[in-house]
Amino acid sequence: MIFVVELPEAGAPSAWFSFDEDDLARRQLDLQADGVERIVYWNEAEAVAAFEGGDPLIAGKDGWYARRALYGQLVALEVLADDC
């Protein structure tokens, strides 16, 4: 799985996943011109590390909403338990 965190200029961050690189490429074509910054985590280990504060782009107080969106995806896909 590939995890993507979206950081729009206005509004709350969100997160979604792609099954593989081909799926991600198809989705990116649809999303190219929307002006939203996206952070890609290429596997579960990278995504969990980012959630745990390992990515400075979403770490700290300013990245709380982005980490929370990523957490939601990780729980939905049963990568993390819902008791974190």
Per-residue pLDDT of the chain (84 residues; tens, 9 = 90+): 999 999 998 899 999 999 999 999 988 777 776 778 899 999 999 999 999 999 999 999 999 999 999 999 999 988 887 765
Q: Where are the beta strands (DSSP E) in the chain?
A: 2-7, 14-18, 37-41
pTM of the model: 0.88
Tell me the pairing of strands 37-41 and 2-7. Answer: antiparallel
pLDDT at 26: 86
In the chain, where the domains are located: 2-76
Helical spans, DSSP H, in 17-63: 21-31, 44-49
